[in-house]
């Protein structure tokens, strides 16, 4: 039994109470910006937990496939951070999907706050970097009154002066927050606003940063002795540290899709395209870590094309062919490879798709039409992935110039092991040959 009248016992109880309150309420200490710049630490109350969280978001107009590339940049950053920093354990919180410009279907149900598990295999992602879904972050992170308060949010901005002068150099500099650029507002002692469509998230601090450079330069903004959660908005601005490197491809290979999406695509391939992995030499281990370098994938007996229309007819008019022009190029390749089946992934309307088929009467032209079950469970994002999977297993693939949808298919085909000449191809504006969209081969 404790002797409550003993000064030593009372001192021990007092210290325990202070320690507990500090741990439960903050889990870390509070310091000013000047303290951080001078490196002054928190003494006995430096963060009691060594777990740190990095959160991020991307410019709202950016699409599904560019956001997947941003993820690779951040995942490599967090993995390298954990290699370098032995004191803290950094976790990447996956930003929920939703409100994307190209997700306009009205018959798929709500397309907001979708977890990554809807589209990707989370366990596979975690074999590369320590990632968690947003709902897991809510469970782990302390909150008050069912509200989650982040420690700091950085709004990353391009330095427009660099674009005017054409002189680019690394920059990571705090600047005034412009009301025109900020999606947040201050209310009392915290900031409210757009946090992935969640009304229960706020931020204690908000800072605007003029930034130019690679992702690793953001390490200077983390201050793990003072911040437990750090959020970066406009994370599309930092560049890859090493695009196309072995680390890049490891992160990309870890991005296995939800297994049910593979099953749906495989069923379609087998039923309509006479394509199964064993015959096509496209079998893959269930664990991406066990994949080996190969270049002998055959692919199913069909040609696949990503035929982009809509906004590309205006924004990429100089490189986007007419339907008739595209049909002519496809016919040439179908003859060259002796194929009779053509799979089309496209945002073309029904009239344009019918026009394409009219120019290719000697071929079976197919596109994927999702069931109501698929539409309601996997939404526009999952349907797009099914299209991409089917394209990635074709004997020969032709993409659209400067399309991130095409880039992701090319990456998948590199991982599966196709010869590059059957992957890095694109539709030209006219019948004549045109340069390819770049040639980023896998590094093992």
With contact defined as beta carbons under 8 Å apart, do 44 and 223 qualify?
Answer: no
Helix residue ranges, H only, 86-218: 122-126, 134-140, 160-165
With H, G, I as helix, E, B as strand and everything else as coil, classify residue 296: coil
Residue 400, φ and ψ in degrees, nearest 5? -110, 135
> H or E segment at 34?
helix 33-38
Residue 163 CA to residue 158 CA, distance in Å, equals 9
Sorted by sequence, the CB contacts under 8 Å of residue 140 that are 6+ apart come out as 51, 132
With H, G, I as helix, E, B as strand and everything else as coil, classify residue 279: helix
Residue 6 CA to residue 48 CA, distance in Å, equals 28
> H or E segment at 204?
strand 201-212
- For residue 152, the cross-strand partners are 205, 230
Of 40, 46, 62, 421, the active-site residue reads 62
Angstrom CA distances, 44 to 7, 41, 222, stand at 21, 9, 20
Sign of CA dihedral 292, 249, 268, 346: negative
- For residue 132, the cross-strand partners are 93
Sign of CA dihedral 430, 433, 434, 437: positive
Tokens of 310: 């809509």
Q: Is 62 in the active site?
A: yes
With H, G, I as helix, E, B as strand and everything else as coil, classify residue 401: coil
Identify the CA nearest to 299 among candidates 440, 385, 416, 409: 416
Q: Which residues form the catalytic set?
A: 62
């Amino acid at each position: 039994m404790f002797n409550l009248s003993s000064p030593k016992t009372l001192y021990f109880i007092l210290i325990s109470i202070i320690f507990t309150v500090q741990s439960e309420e903050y889990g870390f200490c509070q310091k000013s910006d000047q303290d951080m710049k001078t490196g002054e630490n928190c003494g006995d109350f430096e963060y009691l937990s060594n777990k740190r969280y990095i959160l991020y978001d991307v410019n709202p107009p950016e699409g599904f496939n560019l956001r997947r590339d941003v993820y690779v940049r951040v995942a490599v950053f967090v993995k390298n951070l954990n290699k370098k920093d032995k004191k803290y354990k950094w976790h990447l919180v996956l930003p929920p999907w939703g409100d994307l410009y190209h997700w306009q279907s009205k018959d798929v149900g709500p397309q907001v706050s979708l977890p990554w598990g809807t589209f990707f295999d989370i366990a596979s992602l975690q074999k590369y970097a320590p990632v968690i879904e947003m709902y897991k972050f809510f469970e782990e992170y302390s909150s008050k009154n069912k509200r989650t308060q982040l420690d700091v949010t950085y709004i990353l901005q391009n330095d427009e002066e660099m674009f005017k002068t054409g002189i680019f150099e690394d920059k990571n500099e705090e600047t005034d927050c412009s009301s025109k650029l900020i999606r947040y507002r201050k209310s009392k002692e915290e900031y409210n606003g757009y946090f992935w469509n969640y009304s229960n998230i706020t931020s204690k601090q908000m800072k605007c940063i003029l930034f130019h450079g690679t992702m690793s330069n953001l390490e200077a903004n983390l201050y793990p002795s003072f911040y437990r959660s750090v959020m970066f908005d406009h994370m599309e601005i930092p560049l890859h540290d090493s695009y196309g490197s072995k680390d890049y491809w490891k992160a990309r290979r870890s991005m296995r899709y939800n297994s049910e999406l593979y099953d749906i695509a495989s069923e379609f391939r087998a039923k309509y395209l006479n394509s199964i992995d064993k015959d096509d030499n496209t079998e893959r281990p269930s664990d991406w870590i066990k994949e080996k370098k190969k270049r002998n994938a055959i692919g199913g007996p069909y040609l696949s094309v990503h035929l982009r229309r809509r906004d590309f007819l205006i924004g990429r008019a100089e490189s986007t062919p007419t339907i008739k022009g595209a049909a002519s190029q496809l016919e040439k390749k179908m003859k060259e490879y002796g194929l009779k089946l053509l799979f089309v992934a496209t945002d073309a309307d029904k009239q344009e798709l019918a026009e394409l088929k009219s120019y290719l009467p000697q071929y079976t032209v197919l596109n994927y039409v999702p069931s109501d079950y698929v539409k309601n469970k996997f939404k526009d994002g999952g349907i797009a992935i099914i299209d991409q999977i089917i394209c990635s297993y074709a004997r020969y693939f032709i993409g659209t110039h400067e399309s991130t949808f095409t880039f992701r298919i090319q990456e998948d085909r590199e991982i599966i092991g196709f010869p590059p000449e059957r992957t890095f191809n694109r539709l030209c504006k006219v019948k004549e040959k045109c340069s390819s969209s770049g040639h980023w081969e896998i590094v093992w």
